[in-house]
Structure 1
């Protein structure tokens, strides 16, 4: 659990700087240069990610079960993951109305992702990992909403880009859920418990 905890502190700490300490971030960039700052940011992010994956993997070998999620919550988590994937795609797909309206779909997507996994998993490691991500996303989203809105893009959002965003997000969701991508990347088949 300590490895997972350290990974969460490093990974989410690094990813909190821009939202929670923007002035300090600017000072560091001015002092070290943008390239050095981005390099350090990337190295710390990677180190935190490795520690999280390693720590979570270790914890899965000796799970401490807090509760057994009811089947209805597991089904609800599948639907929430569809929404999460659409939001995550919306953060990167240009000119979609979802990003134009919500402004921070990535953080919202992480919130929904974390909530979905909290509903479907009941071990101590799951509560630590996904609960921490959920709390982090709530704090960062609130902070980001307080910042001034950037000027609108020269080309307005379009319905075509929005439909493409939704379709791509749902496609990625289907690949994870039914296409075996979750089992291949994470080592867990989310539909396994449904077939028991």
Structure 2
């Protein structure tokens, strides 16, 4: 469990710098240069991601059950996951979805975390998905307060971007539904 916690602290910590210390972030970019900052950010993110994935895998081997969700909540979780991948695509494909939602990636993370909290009740699940849900909410509040929003690199705005986000997202969702989730996590979504 400790590796999961360290991974979460490292991964969500580096992703929270613009929330808790935007001036420090700006000073680091100014001092070190944008490329060096992005390199350090990427390495810290990767290290945190590896630790949290490995730690979560270890924690799942000896689960501590906090609650047992009723089977109906698993169906609700599958429905909540339906917009997640289209929203992730929309974060990088500016169009009507992005304009309407404003922060599609944060909404995708919040829906993903909520769906997994509804369908899973172990301590590791609550730590992992609860931490991501709290982070998404904190970042959403932070983004609302920023004078100058950070730009997300992506495709140029266009009318076809929404179609690509929906189509690509639904294809990825179907892939997870029909095998990718089982391949990655050992858990079949349709069993």
Provide TM-score, normalisation by structure 1: 0.89
* Aligned position for 1:174: 174
Q: Answer yes or no: is the 8 Å Cα contact 1:29–1:37 preserved in 2.
A: yes
- Extract structure 1 runs of 4+ deviating beyond 6 A: none
Show CA shifts across 1:58-87 (max 9, x none).
001000111111111100000111111121
Count the aligned residue pairs: 187
1:84-123 paired onto structure 2 within 5 Å: 84-93=84-93, 95-123=94-122
Structure 1: any 5+ residue segments left out of the alignment? none
Show CA shifts across 1:101-147 (max 9, x none).
22211011000000000001010100000001000100001111222
* Aligned position for 1:26: 26
Cα separation, 1, equivalents of 2:64 and 2:120: 11
* Aligned position for 1:146: 145
* Aligned position for 1:189: 188
Secondary structure at 2:65 match in 1:
coil
* Aligned Cα root-mean-square deviation (Å): 1.9
- The answer to whether 1:47 aligns with 2:60 is no
- The answer to whether 1:61 aligns with 2:61 is yes
- Displacement of 1:35 in angstroms is 1.9
Q: Answer yes or no: is the 8 Å Cα contact 1:97–1:157 preserved in 2.
A: no
Q: Answer yes or no: is the 8 Å Cα contact 1:77–1:117 preserved in 2.
A: yes
